[in-house]
Amino acid sequence: MEEDGDITDGSYRTVAHIEEDGDITDASYRTIGHIEDDGDITEASYSTIGHVENDGDVTDRSYRTVLRIEDNGDITDASYRTIGHLRGPVGVFEKRAAAALWLLGVLSLR
Protein backbone atom coordinates (compact mmCIF):
# COMPACT_ATOMS: atom_id res chain seq x y z
CA MET A 1 0.00 0.00 0.00
CA GLU A 2 1.14 3.50 -0.67
CA GLU A 3 1.42 5.75 2.37
CA ASP A 4 -1.91 7.37 1.55
CA GLY A 5 -3.52 3.96 1.10
CA ASP A 6 -4.03 4.30 -2.66
CA ILE A 7 -3.32 1.52 -5.10
CA THR A 8 -1.26 3.10 -7.85
CA ASP A 9 0.40 1.92 -11.03
CA GLY A 10 3.53 0.07 -10.13
CA SER A 11 2.64 -0.19 -6.45
CA TYR A 12 4.12 -3.29 -4.95
CA ARG A 13 2.17 -5.47 -2.60
CA THR A 14 3.68 -7.65 0.12
CA VAL A 15 2.27 -10.68 1.78
CA ALA A 16 3.27 -12.55 4.90
CA HIS A 17 5.26 -15.72 4.43
CA ILE A 18 4.46 -18.59 6.78
CA GLU A 19 7.34 -19.46 9.05
CA GLU A 20 8.09 -23.11 9.78
CA ASP A 21 6.17 -22.89 13.04
CA GLY A 22 3.20 -21.31 11.29
CA ASP A 23 3.70 -17.85 12.75
CA ILE A 24 3.82 -14.69 10.67
CA THR A 25 6.60 -12.34 11.75
CA ASP A 26 7.74 -8.87 10.72
CA ALA A 27 10.62 -10.49 8.88
CA SER A 28 8.30 -12.77 6.91
CA TYR A 29 7.41 -10.51 4.04
CA ARG A 30 8.12 -10.97 0.35
CA THR A 31 6.95 -9.05 -2.69
CA ILE A 32 4.48 -11.01 -4.79
CA GLY A 33 3.39 -8.69 -7.58
CA HIS A 34 2.35 -5.24 -8.67
CA ILE A 35 -0.44 -3.39 -10.38
CA GLU A 36 -0.09 -3.47 -14.14
CA ASP A 37 1.07 -0.32 -15.99
CA ASP A 38 -2.49 0.56 -16.97
CA GLY A 39 -3.62 0.33 -13.37
CA ASP A 40 -5.67 -2.83 -13.85
CA ILE A 41 -5.40 -5.84 -11.63
CA THR A 42 -5.14 -8.74 -14.07
CA GLU A 43 -4.91 -12.49 -13.77
CA ALA A 44 -1.13 -12.08 -13.67
CA SER A 45 -1.24 -9.47 -10.91
CA TYR A 46 -1.45 -10.28 -7.25
CA SER A 47 -2.78 -7.85 -4.72
CA THR A 48 -2.42 -8.07 -0.98
CA ILE A 49 -5.46 -7.50 1.16
CA GLY A 50 -5.69 -7.25 4.91
CA HIS A 51 -6.79 -9.95 7.29
CA VAL A 52 -9.87 -9.75 9.45
CA GLU A 53 -9.23 -8.33 12.90
CA ASN A 54 -11.06 -9.50 16.03
CA ASP A 55 -13.73 -6.86 15.48
CA GLY A 56 -14.21 -7.94 11.86
CA ASP A 57 -12.43 -4.96 10.32
CA VAL A 58 -9.88 -5.36 7.55
CA THR A 59 -6.85 -3.17 8.16
CA ASP A 60 -4.09 -2.00 5.85
CA ARG A 61 -1.40 -2.91 8.33
CA SER A 62 -2.14 -6.62 8.73
CA TYR A 63 -1.85 -9.04 5.85
CA ARG A 64 -3.09 -12.60 5.74
CA THR A 65 -5.01 -13.32 2.52
CA VAL A 66 -4.00 -13.04 -1.10
CA LEU A 67 -6.57 -12.51 -3.83
CA ARG A 68 -5.87 -13.84 -7.30
CA ILE A 69 -8.00 -12.62 -10.19
CA GLU A 70 -9.08 -15.45 -12.49
CA ASP A 71 -8.35 -15.36 -16.24
CA ASN A 72 -11.84 -14.08 -17.01
CA GLY A 73 -11.55 -11.30 -14.44
CA ASP A 74 -14.02 -12.84 -12.01
CA ILE A 75 -13.34 -13.01 -8.30
CA THR A 76 -14.32 -16.52 -7.23
CA ASP A 77 -14.01 -18.63 -4.13
CA ALA A 78 -11.22 -20.46 -5.90
CA SER A 79 -9.35 -17.17 -6.27
CA TYR A 80 -8.38 -17.18 -2.62
CA ARG A 81 -5.58 -18.88 -0.81
CA THR A 82 -5.07 -18.35 2.88
CA ILE A 83 -1.68 -17.45 4.29
CA GLY A 84 -1.29 -17.60 8.02
CA HIS A 85 -4.21 -17.67 10.40
CA LEU A 86 -7.17 -15.63 11.56
CA ARG A 87 -7.35 -13.75 14.81
CA GLY A 88 -10.34 -14.38 17.00
CA PRO A 89 -13.39 -16.48 16.18
CA VAL A 90 -13.87 -15.25 12.62
CA GLY A 91 -14.36 -18.11 10.15
CA VAL A 92 -12.96 -18.55 6.65
CA PHE A 93 -16.27 -17.56 5.02
CA GLU A 94 -16.45 -14.32 6.99
CA LYS A 95 -12.81 -13.60 6.18
CA ARG A 96 -13.36 -14.08 2.46
CA ALA A 97 -16.51 -11.98 2.47
CA ALA A 98 -14.82 -9.13 4.32
CA ALA A 99 -11.75 -9.32 2.10
CA ALA A 100 -13.83 -9.26 -1.08
CA LEU A 101 -15.83 -6.28 0.16
CA TRP A 102 -12.61 -4.46 1.05
CA LEU A 103 -11.13 -5.05 -2.39
CA LEU A 104 -14.33 -4.00 -4.15
CA GLY A 105 -14.34 -0.82 -2.06
CA VAL A 106 -10.75 -0.05 -3.05
CA LEU A 107 -11.46 -0.70 -6.72
CA SER A 108 -14.61 1.46 -6.65
CA LEU A 109 -12.53 4.45 -5.51
CA ARG A 110 -10.60 4.44 -8.80
Whether residue 100 is predicted with pLDDT greater than 60 in this model: the reply is yes
Tell whether pTM > 0.75. no
Report residue 93's pLDDT band, with 50, 70 and 90 as the boundaries.
low
Which pLDDT does position 36 carry in this prediction? 44
Note the pLDDT tens digit of each residue in 3-52. Answer: 444 444 333 333 333 444 545 444 433 333 333 444 444 444 334 443 43
Q: Rounded distance, CA 52 to CA 93, Å?
A: 11
Q: Which sequence spans correspond to the domains of the chain?
A: 12-108
Full DSSP string of 92-105: HHHHHHHHHHHHHH
Coil, helix or strand for 80? strand
